[in-house]
Chain A
Amino acid sequence: MSTDAVRTPRRRRSSTSRVQTRFAWLLLAPAILTVFGVVLFPLYRTVLVSLFDVRSALDPAPAFIGLGNYIGMLQSPSVWASLGRTFYFTVVSLAVELVFGLALALLLNAPLRARWLFRTLIVIPWAIPTIVNAAMWRGIFNAQYGALNALLTQLGVIHDYVPWLSEPWQAMNLVILADAWKTTPLVAFFLLAGLTGIPHEIYEAAAVDGLGWWKRFRAITLPLLVPAISIVVVLRTVEAFKVFDIIYAMTRGGPANGTAVISYYTYVTAFSDQNFGMGSAMAMLIVLAIAVLCLTYLRLIRTSDMSLL
């Protein structure tokens, strides 16, 4: 066998491989452009800006201050206070949405007449844009002409109109309520998808064994819903942690900064105060916090045999 005879198939393989590689790059190009252009490049710019003292969007040569913005941020009581409010918002809204979402999912999974109608209606709050939702709830809670005051007065529950959004802690809880009203249907649909995947035979077997509703729920429904719950927990935690629009439209961080969560405070720092360097450092803090939360959840969830993640 001559050496030429050996080399020819190799050259052919090599040529085919190059064509395949080029084709692969071509196919990947849109994804690469999207990931690097829309995700990684802005992230890189944010990191870059966070290392400079940028006090104007038009400053051509801001001073490099290294980790100065990060140190300033960590020393700021306002940042820690807004982080505390963010954790409160995240934990409480997630708990409310999970409890009500699960109850709603169980109802929608029950053999009701016109179940399709209920399943359709329940989507409406989720379909409403957040800004519209916030404006609606702001109107409902208005101290002077709000629907809630009118309703409670008509029912004789209150005698004087209540300024619902004028006390910091109460305002935060009412913003959570408005957020939960919109988002609970989404949670319910995730959990409903999980519920429909549970084989009915298991429930029949449990009923034969004489298990009551509560025991069936604890022993069958809840464990088999863990994959769906885990997805909901991760998604909603990330979303709740970076909550911004409902705060902006409902309370603008007030009263007395009582609803100034970290995303809102970051926005104010960057755009209202024109401290873009500090704002970028705070944005990186949000990225880091969400990454840590996600990793922690995923680690916890992976310990569960039922987890999909």
Chain B
Amino acid sequence: MILTRRALMFTGGALVAAGAAGCSVTGASDPAAGPTSAGTGGVPTGTVNILLMKQAGWTEEDWATVISKFTTANPEITVNPTFVAYEALHDKIVTSAAAGTYDVIHMDVIWPPEFAEKKMIADVTDRVPSSWKTDMQGGALQAALYKEQFYGAPAFPSTKLFYYNKDLMAKAGVTEDDITTWEGVMKAARTMMEKGVSKNPIAWSWSQAEAVVCDFAQLLGSFGGAFTDASGKLIFNDTPGQQTLQLMVDSLKDGTSAPGSPTFLEDDVIKAMQSGDTAFGLNWESAFRDLNDEKASKVVGKCGVSATPTGADNMRPGVNGAMAFAITVGSKNPDAAWKLIEFATSQGVQDPLAESAMPNWISSYSNPDVVKINPEVFKACKVAYAESILRPQVVNYNKVSSILQVEIQNALLGIKPVKTALDDAVTQGNQSLAG
């Protein structure tokens, strides 16, 4: 038999060469072939595959309702939703980009620079009505903008609100007026500990994830700090940054913060508050719904919500956590995708779902019929959305964020002093930005 090893190797080599031929290193073709900015005209038809976050905001049931209404109004379009946890969303978008699996993606406010520069999402500026700029919340618009171009449509505005257990506060003799500042919150927490009302009154989402950066941002803003200077260089190792991280470290040390906080995500904070033992927590708008969920919560009707407490000079910018819908460059059906986006972002669809996510539209916040759906959260958001702090709008945000996450944890766990941790984060972060 003339089946030699050389023949086998030759065949293998030929297969490899054949596989390699005709495609680039990444296998990608020129992104200019992606969907055009403007619509192509005609009635959009076909299937829209949409990748959605399964965390804060609209629930799967909410989405089922929205999609059902959309497909009833547009029977020629089919919608296939896929839900993933927020922590998996970015990587799912990246890994599916080459295959063009999804037409529409749910995009966090921190991702437009990365996805736009890497030509993963389409510029839809020509599709966006000019009225959006005046009729929508500024923070929500930010989630879709990069270099003044729209790379998507705002899905909903979002920031972290301050939740408190009114029962525990009453037992400790703490009033709502006592917790309008971070200093007051810490003092109230110590009172609760001294009176044996709560062992560790505050829970935070300080796990090695984006959640810890959001909490850090919220506190940094209240101390008058910022992530970057005017030239885009990271500067959060300055005095406000150090005050922020020192507060976080001190509260873990003195027990006012739950010792498990460095392992918690936002869902863990909700569960901690739902159990009735934790008095305070920062969380997204939909947390109020979860705290009042009779199936899971022991604190139904016992919690209050406000904009984040103030820090230095009465400052209280909340972290901008808005989300957007973007059309991928690999979308085979961009017109139908935009049709779905227009529907999901419309006021008539967003207003009734205000218990899960705040609407984009400014007028909704003064419409009594909408406000009565979720009055406490609307009241808090009116204050909270007035000013916000943005995390760095840079192409390699994920790298910068992961550096900051590790260094914050190094300080929280006592591995590094606060200043050293922040200096290291800024040095590594700026190196990453430079190259």
Contact = CB atoms under 8 A, between A and B. Distances in A.
Report whether over half of chain A's contact residues are helix, strand or loop; otherwise say mixed: loop
Nearest to A167: B413
B329 A256 contact: no
Query: Residue among A49, A56, A144, A145 with the most chain B CB within 10 A?
Result: A144
A56 B95 contact: no
Interface of B: 1-3, 8, 11-12, 15-16, 19-20, 24-26, 28-31, 87, 90-91, 94-95, 97-98, 114, 118-120, 199, 203, 207-209, 258-264, 268, 271-272, 275, 278, 329-330, 396, 398-399, 402, 405-406, 409-410, 413, 415
Contact of A255 (B203, B399, B409): B409
A256 B119 contact: no
Contact of B272 (A60, A144, A165, A166): A144
A255 B413 contact: yes
Contact of B2 (A21, A28, A52, A267): A21
Interface residues of A, number: 54
Nearest to A271: B91
B413 A41 contact: no
Interface string A17-49: 100110011001000110111001100110011
Contact of A48 (B25, B91, B199, B406): B25
Nearest to A269: B399
A59 B26 contact: yes
A274 B94 contact: yes
Contacts of B258: 143-144, 163
B18 to A, nearest CB: 10
Given A17-B1, A24-B3, A142-B260, 12 more contacts: A33-B15, A36-B15, A44-B20, A45-B20, A48-B20, A58-B26, A143-B260, A160-B199, A161-B259, A163-B262, A272-B398, A276-B26
Contact of B25 (A62, A145, A274): A62
Which A-B residue pairs are the 8 nearest by beta carbons? Answer: A143-B260, A254-B208, A56-B118, A256-B409, A163-B260, A57-B98, A271-B91, A166-B262
B1 A62 contact: no
Contact of A57 (B8, B97, B264, B406): B97
A144 B275 contact: yes
9 contacts: A48-B25, A55-B118, A60-B24, A61-B25, A144-B271, A166-B263, A256-B208, A271-B91, A274-B396
Nearest to A268: B402
Contacts of A245: none
Given A58-B26, A274-B118, A252 B87 contact: yes
